[in-house]
Amino acid sequence: MRSLKLFMLAICSVVAIHASAGNKIKYYFNHPVDNTVSSGVDAINLNGRIDDTLIAYINRAKFTLDIAVYNFTSYSGSGDLSNVVNAINSAYTRGVKIRWIHNGTSATANSGLTTVNSAIPRLASPNTSTYNIMHDKFMIVDGKSSNPDDAIVWTGSTNWSVAQFEQDYDNVVIVQDSALAHAYLGEFNQMWGDTGMTPNMTVSKFGPYKADLGRHNFTIDGKQVELYFSPSDGTNNHIKSSILTASKDLYFGVYTMTDNGCANSIATVKMNGAYVAGILDQYSNYSGNSAYTTITSTLGSNFIEYTGSYLYHNKYVVIDPSDACSDPMVLTGSHNWTNAANTQNDENTLIIHDPTAANIYLQAFRGDFYALGGTLTKVYGCTSGVGGIEAAEAHLNVYPNPSGGEFTLSLSLPQAQGVSAYLIDMAGRKYELMNNIWQPAGLFSSTFSAPAVGVYLLKVVTNNKLYNYQIIRN
């Protein structure tokens, strides 16, 4: 089993570094947000003008545009999308090399491609019984530029249609980072079958035929960013392990949830004392969907089913936005929480470890939740003012990892204190390793084993710190 990035930690001493957002990652929403809970960087509602922002990035392209979008719906006189078409055609006219991948399993999707310059090469995903859909929604701007500042990735949950830009509930993430852009290019080229302008259907790979290219961990604006593609990268396991790190609060907004593991992980963090709230689209409410039943029975009034005229189309979870001394993060992208997304569809998912990003998505979630008739309790967590944490922090390491057998937990304790530790598996089962064992100051080591092959969350608790550490037994 391949290695994952393991150490997920945001200590109070670095909170000040993240107090303001950098300029490499931007987040946008298309419905009103709740800036009253802003920690200093306000979430931005584009008021149905996502198209204007998309056009601005298309207009920035100097060399290349690589587009992989599930649905591009445009028609004569459709305004917003016609303007996007004009920007794309203008980019092509000024010499930008454009490649386009779209879903090929639906006859009704991608009507907008008829208005795009016919000289722009394009590739439809295969329409076969062994494959589901090309569901990505990303664009790479100048991914191969020699100037790393040129490279931009546009992603999120938003298809390119009037409904998605203006009416459905969606989010957009824009990242300026050459390494991330190259990782997206690798995925694009797998589907395209070539690095050039002509697709090669002989080696082109979609869905379950793609390989894990191994480019998963990045540092952008000083933040840890993880990237996973489906179905090669086991994304549902990353969703579940991220959920299970929540210790203070968790909020999710997802179009479709049918994966029991994701629902059970949410129930586990709720049972462990975290404050949890969520929104699902009505599309998730159908007979036999046990994940939906788990969520509704677990959350009660902290759950809202969207039943409006449009779609609640987000696919995100916000973890510990109220606890900057934990590991606040946002997981978002095109990936619904389903088996099809995990095993058949082409999807992409980002996990951004950053308290500012988590707070921005909290503002968006609260805006949606209140607009849909719900109410939420404001959760308070650790702040940089908690006395003594910076000076009295334990330091943790776990090795070897992955391991085929035993792991060693190593703690450097600045003062005598109690230590507790336990494992949580992907089904939410808890395995206690130690319970408030008093240890003197200095180096403490303990050897333990995971009960079976798989991915686990190791939680270690000292007097003043909760550590979340992901381990793999292979």
Which CATH number does the domain housing residue 410 bear? 2.60.40.3880
At 426 the pLDDT is 73
pLDDT over 50 (residue 4): no
Strands 275-281 and 303-306: parallel
Q: At what angle do helices 235-243 and 260-271 cross, to 10 degrees?
A: 10
- Locate 416 and state its tokens: 């005598």
Higher confidence at residue 24 or residue 131?
A: 24
For residue 164, being part of any structural domain is answered with yes
CA torsion sign, 37 to 41 to 42 to 44?
A: negative
At 127 the pLDDT is 86
Identify the H or E element spanning 472.
strand 466-473
pLDDT over 90 (residue 381): no
- Do residues 307 and 451 share a domain? no
For residue 5, being part of any structural domain is answered with no
- Do residues 286 and 137 share a domain? yes
Tens-place pLDDT, residues 317-336? 999 999 887 889 999 999 99
For residue 234, being part of any structural domain is answered with yes
Confidence at 383, pLDDT banded by 50, 70, 90: very low
Helix-, strand-, coil-residue percentages of the chain, each rounded to 5:
25, 30, 40
At 12 the pLDDT is 30
User: How many domains does the chain fold into?
Assistant: 2
Host domain of residue 466: 395-473
- Do residues 321 and 403 share a domain? no
Average pLDDT, the chain: 88
pLDDT over 70 (residue 409): yes
- Locate 245 and state its tokens: 């790190």
Dihedral angle of Cα 368, 282, 350, 39, to the nearest 10 degrees: 20
Identify the H or E element spanning 67.
strand 64-69
At 107 the pLDDT is 67
pLDDT over 60 (residue 229): yes
φ, ψ for residue 205, nearest 5 deg: -130, 130
- Locate 350 and state its tokens: 């980002």
At 428 the pLDDT is 72
At 181 the pLDDT is 97
Confidence at 397, pLDDT banded by 50, 70, 90: confident
- Locate 51 and state its tokens: 């198209």
- Cα distance between residue 260 and residue 25, in whole Å: 32
CA torsion sign, 209 to 210 to 214 to 217?
A: negative
- Do residues 300 and 425 share a domain? no
Find the length of the chain.
Answer: 474
Tens-place pLDDT, residues 280-312? 999 999 999 999 999 999 999 999 999 999 999
CA torsion sign, 341 to 242 to 432 to 469?
A: positive
- Do residues 400 and 426 share a domain? yes
Rounded to whole angstroms, the maximal C-alpha distance in the chain is: 74
Identify the H or E element spanning 50.
helix 50-60
- Cα distance between residue 437 and residue 420, in whole Å: 6
Q: Is 323:381 a contact under the CB 8 Å cutoff?
A: yes
At 394 the pLDDT is 52
At 137 the pLDDT is 98
- Do residues 175 and 246 share a domain? yes
- Cα distance between residue 339 and residue 315, in whole Å: 14
- Cα distance between residue 354 and residue 349, in whole Å: 16
Q: Give pairs for 282-288: CB < 8 Å, separation 24+.
A: 282/306, 282/307, 283/255, 283/256, 283/311, 284/254, 284/255, 284/256, 284/257, 284/258
- Do residues 275 and 207 share a domain? yes
* Mean pLDDT lowest among 209-218, 328-337, 401-410: 401-410
Show the beta-strand stretches assigned E in 151-268: 152-156, 171-176, 217-220, 223-230, 249-254
Higher confidence at residue 13 or residue 127?
A: 127
* Mean pLDDT lowest among 213-227, 258-272, 400-414: 400-414
Show the beta-strand stretches assigned E in 117-157: 122-124, 137-141, 152-156
Mean pLDDT of 436-453: 88
- Do residues 382 and 404 share a domain? no
Confidence at 382, pLDDT banded by 50, 70, 90: low
- Do residues 466 and 379 share a domain? no
Q: Is 443:410 a contact under the CB 8 Å cutoff?
A: yes
* Mean pLDDT lowest among 18-27, 228-237, 252-261, 296-305: 18-27
DSSP 282: G
Mean pLDDT of 62-87: 84
The fraction of the chain above a pLDDT of 90, given in percent, is 67
Q: In 3D, which of 364, 347, 344, 173 has the Cα closest to residue 253?
A: 364
For residue 1, being part of any structural domain is answered with no
> Domain boundary at 358, 389, 420, which?
389
Q: CATH code at 322? A: 3.30.870.10
- Do residues 468 and 339 share a domain? no
At 318 the pLDDT is 98
Strands 97-102 and 122-124: parallel
Tens-place pLDDT, residues 160-186? 998 999 999 999 999 999 999 999 999
CA torsion sign, 261 to 265 to 271 to 276?
A: negative
For residue 71, being part of any structural domain is answered with yes
Query: Residue 405: is it exposed, middle or buried by C-beta count within 10 angstroms (0-12/13-18/19+)?
Result: exposed
For residue 6, being part of any structural domain is answered with no
For residue 2, being part of any structural domain is answered with no
